[in-house]
Amino acid sequence: MKNETVRQAILTSAASQIAMTSYMDTTVAKIAKGAGIAPSNVYVYFESKLQIYFTIYTPWFEAQMLALERAVARLKTPERKIQRLVSGLLNDIADDKTGYTSALMEGLAIVMPKDKYKPDLLHWAENKIVQIVCDAIEGSKPEDPRLRAFAHLLMLTFDGVAMRVKSQRAANESTANRSDVEEALVGMLIGNR
């Protein structure tokens, strides 16, 4: 029988590992040790390490996106709204200080069929982006394939930023060129109006 206390201990241990190390260096054995259980018991609660990370990341990411949606809605012009959407995704969420996003991207880069990855969160995010854009730009329609393409491109950019965050910090590399990328993405929507 599953025990919620044990499940929470696994998640707490995994979150601690995320903060201290990389996805690759985090093992189920380390997560289990931090939770005070045997590694085999982790699999009673989760199918894979990736599923553990998604269980931690999904509510965090959804809360970040909903907060971003509210921040965008408070702005007055379509241009500022789209700029805030792009900047929020690439700077605040992809480059988060918890390490959640970069750890998950690292995991996704090596995903195997046994991990049973499902892109549900990606689809949710792309649909949320389309909704935010439709609310920001009068006359936009969610079925517009250009909006769907924009959402997909924005999430691909998000993935790339998240993958580079750790290496950029380690090398003291500037993220200045990210503003050029943001400007180009905003121009794709606003420039075509």
33-84 pLDDT tens trace:
999 999 999 999 999 999 999 999 999 999 999 999 999 999 999 999 999 9
What pLDDT, on the 0 to 100 scale, is given for residue 40? 95
- At 172 the three-state DSSP class reads coil
Q: Judge if 37 and 58 occupy the same domain.
A: no
- Helix residue ranges, H only, the chain: 4-20, 28-35, 39-45, 49-73, 78-87, 100-109, 120-136, 145-170, 177-190
Q: Judge if 34 and 104 occupy the same domain.
A: no
Q: Judge if 21 and 81 occupy the same domain.
A: no
Sign of CA dihedral 181, 183, 186, 190: negative
Q: Judge if 12 and 34 occupy the same domain.
A: yes
**Predicted confidence band at 193 (pLDDT cuts at 50, 70, 90)?**
very low
Q: Judge if 22 and 55 occupy the same domain.
A: no
Q: Judge if 4 and 85 occupy the same domain.
A: no
Q: Judge if 116 and 72 occupy the same domain.
A: yes
For residue 41 the two structure tokens come to 């018991």
Return the CATH number at 21. 1.10.10.60
> Which residue range is the domain that position 5 belongs to?
1-46
Closest CA to 136 of 62, 63, 64, 186: 186
Percent above pLDDT 90 for the chain: 68
What pLDDT, on the 0 to 100 scale, is given for residue 172? 66
Q: Name the range with the highest mean pLDDT among 20-24, 94-98, 118-122, 172-176.
A: 118-122
**Structural domain count of the chain:** 2
Q: Judge if 36 and 61 occupy the same domain.
A: no
More confident residue, 37 or 116: 37
Return the CATH number at 89. 1.10.357
Q: Judge if 66 and 36 occupy the same domain.
A: no
